Amino acid sequence: MGKLIIFDEQKKVFHLKNNFYSYVIQIVMDKYLLHRYWGKPLREFRDSAALTMMDRGFSPQPEEINHDRRFSLDVLPREYPDTNHGDFRTPAYQIMLADGTTATEFGYNGYRIYEGKPAIKGQPHSFDKAGQCETLEIELISVNNDLKIFLNYTIFPDSNALVRSVKFVNIGTENVKLLNAGSLSLDFTDHDFIRYSLYGGHAAERSLERSELFRGIQENSSTRGASSHQQSPFIALARRNADEHQGDVYGFSLIYSGNFSIRTEVEQFGTTRVVAGINPANFTWTLEKGESFETPEGVMVYSADGLNGMSKCFHNFWQKHLVRSKHVNELRPILVNNWEATYFDFNEEKILELADCAKELGIELVVLDDGWFGKRNDDNSSLGDWFVNREKLPAGVAGISEKVRAKGLKFGLWVEPEMVSVDSDLFRAHPDWTIHSNAVKSSYGRNQLILDLGRAEVREYVIKVISDAIKEAKVDYIKWDMNRHMTEPFSNALPADRQLEASHRYIMGVYEIMEAITSRFPDILFESCSGGGGRFDAGMMYYMPQAWVSDNTDAVCRLKIQTGTSLVFPPATMGCHVSVVPNHQVGRITPLNFRGLVAMCGAFGYEMDICRMSDEDKAEVKEQIKLFKDIRPMVQQGEFTRLKSPFAGNDTAWSFTSKDGSRMAVMYFRILSQMAPEVGYLKLQGLEPNALYRISTFKMPEHAHEVNESYLKSNDIEGKEFYGDELMNFGLTITPALLDFAAYMWIIEKIG
C-alpha cells in the first residue's frame, strides 16, 4: 500500500493525500465511482457529510437499483460521468457503439496503486524525476465487456497538483467511436465560487475574467486548432472570501495545445461539475478492436493561499514536473530580436551592426527573426522553403551565426515549421500536403496554409528540413512560431468517417515533430510563439521552456498580459522585450525606464534598433542590463507574487523573491498621474517576520525623470532597515508621482 494513496477496502474509499490536500473517491454498490472530497488534508475520511439521497423528480434510476427512487446518477457527485444513461449533466465522455448507441454503462473493475507515473505516449506529460509520486489507476469495464476505461490519478509529495488522465481500450470485437474523451471531471457539492478564466485576442492575450458561477453551463474553449489567444486552457474556482493571498482556490489546467474545453455546470440542486479535456466539438476518434486512446493530462491544483498560492503551485509544478528542457532552471540570456527593428528589411550588414551594438550594451543573444529564407520579403511567401535567401545573407545564416558568435554573443533563429505559404516551392510541389477539404474553398490566414502534420510523410519532411536548417546555422536559440488558426479541418489522408480526428491528429503531429527536434538539439534554448501568445500552454512548455507572451510590446498593455499569464505560468517562461516608442501596436509613448522595468519581469530582451538610440538612451539601456543581470536570479529562479493587479486599477506591483529568501525585488508601476490621488501602502509578502531587511531603491538615470527623482527622495527609505513583520503589515508608502507611466523598483535584502 502506498504512502500517498490509501484504499480502505471496507468503506471502498480511495484517499489520496499529501501535506497539501486530500482527494477522496468512493465506490458505491461495487459499481459506481463517486467524488467525495477535495480540499485541505484530512487525517482520515470517515464520511461526516454523508451522501443524502432522496426521491428527485425526473431523475431516473439505473435498472439494477430495484426501483429505489432515491438513487439516481443524475444527482450523485460523480468522478467520471457518462451520458444518456441517467445523468443529464455535462458528461466527461461519450462513446458511440457499433450499432449507434450513445449510452454506455461502465462499472468499477479494480484498481492498481504504484510508485511513479505513466508517460503518455506521443504527448507532453508531467514526470517525477525523484520517482516519489504515486499513481492510482482505477479500471472500469463496460457491462458488455467490450470496453475498458482506466482513470489515472498521480499525486506528488512536493506539490499541490493532482494529475489526471484517462485511457480508453477497445477489448471488444467491433469498432467504436469516442465522441468525447475528457481528461478530468469532478463534482463539488455547492456552487459558492467565483470563476476566473483568461480571455483575449491577438496582441491582447490573457485578460482576467472574473464572474459569478451561474446556474447553467459556462465554458472556456477553443476550436481554432490551437489553445489560442482568445481563451486559455485554464479556469479557477475561488471561494467567495478568497483573494490573492488567502482562501481556497481550485485551479484547472490542461497539458494540451489543441482544441480544448473547460466547462463548469451548476445544476438544479446547486452542485457544480467541472469537466476539462479535448473539445468534443470537432472531435471523434475511432477505436478499432484492440486499440486504445489516451487523453491529454489535466492538472488540478488546490491552494488554501488564494490566487497567488494557486499560481505558485502551477509555477513550481511546471518547472519541476513538466518542462523538460535542460534550460528550465538556467538563467535566460538577454536578447535582442530584429523583428520590430527591421521587420523583413534586413541584410547581413544590418544584423551584424545590431550584434555590435548588442555587445556594447551587454546583451547576450542576437535573434534573427522572420525573413531569412526563400524569397520572403513580406509575409506572403516562402514558408516551407527553408533554404537561405542569399541575396539578403550572402554568407548564409551560418555566416552570420559564426560572426555573431565570434563577437562572444549567442545566436538565435526564427522558424515557422508547421506552415506553408501559397507562394512557395513546397506548396507547388505538394499542394495536397495541407489541411484542406476539396468540398469547400480554403480560408487563408496571412496567406498561408497549415501542413497536414497528421501525415507521417509530411512530419518526416518537416523534421528533416528544419533539422538541416538548424544544424547548418549553428544556433543557440530557436523561436518556433505558428501564425494562423485552423479552418476546414480535413485531412486527405483520412477516410470520411474519421475526419473529425484531423485537429487532434494535427496537434499530435506537432508534438511528434517537437519531440524529434528538441531531442535532437538538447542544448538549444527553444521559445515557442504563436503570433505572440497564441499557444501559451502547458503542452508547449513540455518541449520549450519559454514562450513569446504577446505581439503587443506596449508596456502598459503588457502589465495586464503578463499579470494574466502569471496566473498559470512563472516569469521565466515569459518572453518580454523593450520596444521603441511610439509603440508599434498601440502608438503609446512611455518612458524607457517604464518599458525596461516591465520587460525585466520575465525572460528579458530588446526588440528595437538598439543602434539608433540617443547616447542618453544607450546609457540607460546599459544601466538596465546591468540591473537586470543583478536581479535575474530572483526574477527567473525565485518566487513570484502579485501584490497589486492592473485589472483592479491604475497600479500594478509584483515581487520576486530569491530561492533562499534572502533578497526580494519589488516592482511598482503607476500608469497615469491623477488629481487627488490616494497615497498607497504596499504591503509585501513572503518575508520572514523576525528578519531584518535593508532597502535599496533603484535610481533612475538622472536625465530620465527629474520628477521621479524628487518622488524617490521624498520617500527616502534608501538604505533604511526594517523587520519583515513591519514591511508585510505596515508596508511601504507609495507617494503619488507627478507623471504618467511611473515605474519604481526596490531591492529588499535580508541582513539579519
Binding mask 320-359 for ligand DGJ (x = CB under 6 A): -------------------x--------------------
Q: Cα–Cα distances in Å, from 139 out to 32, 78, 106, 118, 629?
A: 12, 15, 10, 15, 52
Scored b (16 or more CB within 10 A) or e, 490-510 reads bbeebeeeeebbbbbbbbbbb
In angstroms, give the least distance from the CB of 558 to ligand DGJ. 14
Of the pair 547, 597, the CB lying nearest ligand DGJ is at 547
Which of helix, strand or coil describes residue 226?
coil
| Cα gap 260→77, rounded to integer Å | 23
| Among the listed residues 233, 258, 306, 532, the single contact to ligand DGJ using CB under 6 A | 532
Interface with ligand DGJ in residues 672-711 (CB under 6 A): none
Residue 554 touches ligand DGJ, criterion: CB under 6 A: no
In angstroms, give the least distance from the CB of 497 to ligand DGJ. 36
| Among the listed residues 79, 369, 501, 623, the single contact to ligand DGJ using CB under 6 A | 369
In angstroms, give the least distance from the CB of 564 to ligand DGJ. 17
Residue 548 touches ligand DGJ, criterion: CB under 6 A: yes
Q: Which of 82, 87, 452, 551 is catalytic?
A: 551
Of the pair 225, 531, the CB lying nearest ligand DGJ is at 531
| Cα gap 545→526, rounded to integer Å | 7
Listed residue (348, 433, 416) closest to 379, CA to CA: 416
In angstroms, give the least distance from the CB of 365 to ligand DGJ. 15
In angstroms, give the least distance from the CB of 413 to ligand DGJ. 11
Scored b (16 or more CB within 10 A) or e, 446-475 reads eebbbbbbbbeebbebbbebbbebbeebeb
Of the pair 79, 527, the CB lying nearest ligand DGJ is at 527
Of the pair 175, 342, the CB lying nearest ligand DGJ is at 342
Listed residue (395, 397, 555, 421) closest to 477, CA to CA: 397
Listed residue (37, 30, 35, 74) closest to 54, CA to CA: 74
Residue 529 touches ligand DGJ, criterion: CB under 6 A: yes
Strand ranges, E, within 116-245:
134-142, 147-155, 161-170, 176-188, 193-201, 204-212, 216-221, 231-239
Interface with ligand DGJ in residues 458-487 (CB under 6 A): 481, 483
C-alpha 742 chain-centroid distance: 29
Parallel/antiparallel/unpaired status of strands 546-548 and 298-303: unpaired
**Minimal CB distance residue for ligand DGJ:** 370
In angstroms, give the least distance from the CB of 551 to ligand DGJ. 5
| Among the listed residues 370, 385, 423, 651, the single contact to ligand DGJ using CB under 6 A | 370
Of the pair 414, 698, the CB lying nearest ligand DGJ is at 414
φ, ψ at 143 (rounded to 5°): -65, -25
**Options 316-324, 527-535, 636-644, 744-752: segment touching ligand DGJ (CB under 6 A):** 527-535
Of the pair 124, 532, the CB lying nearest ligand DGJ is at 532
Of the pair 128, 205, the CB lying nearest ligand DGJ is at 205
In angstroms, give the least distance from the CB of 547 to ligand DGJ. 10
The four Cα atoms 614, 617, 621, 624 give a dihedral, to 10 degrees, of 170
In angstroms, give the least distance from the CB of 200 to ligand DGJ. 14
Q: Contact, 239 vs 307, CB < 8 A?
A: no
Of the pair 606, 744, the CB lying nearest ligand DGJ is at 606
Instruction: Give 305's strand partners.
Output: 247
| Cα gap 710→116, rounded to integer Å | 58
Of the pair 489, 532, the CB lying nearest ligand DGJ is at 532
Residue 503 touches ligand DGJ, criterion: CB under 6 A: no
Residues touching ligand DGJ, count (CB under 6 A):
12
Of the pair 78, 484, the CB lying nearest ligand DGJ is at 484
| Among the listed residues 551, 554, 623, 651, the single contact to ligand DGJ using CB under 6 A | 551
Q: Is 68 exposed, middle or buried (0-12, 13-18, 19+ CB in 10 A)?
A: exposed
Residue 527 touches ligand DGJ, criterion: CB under 6 A: no
| Cα gap 44→46, rounded to integer Å | 6
Residue 568 CB neighbour total at 10 angstroms: 26
**Options 43-51, 62-70, 528-536, 695-703: segment touching ligand DGJ (CB under 6 A):** 528-536
Binding mask 408-437 for ligand DGJ (x = CB under 6 A): ------x-----------------------
| Cα gap 79→187, rounded to integer Å | 7
Which of helix, strand or coil describes residue 507?
helix
Tell me 57's DSSP state. Answer: T
Instruction: Give 368's strand partners.
Output: 413
Has 551 been annotated as catalytic?
A: yes
Q: Which of 74, 481, 537, 651 is catalytic?
A: 481
Interacting residue ranges for ligand DGJ, rule: CB under 6 A: 339, 369-370, 379, 414, 481, 483, 529, 531-532, 548, 551
Instruction: Report the catalytic residues.
Output: 481, 551
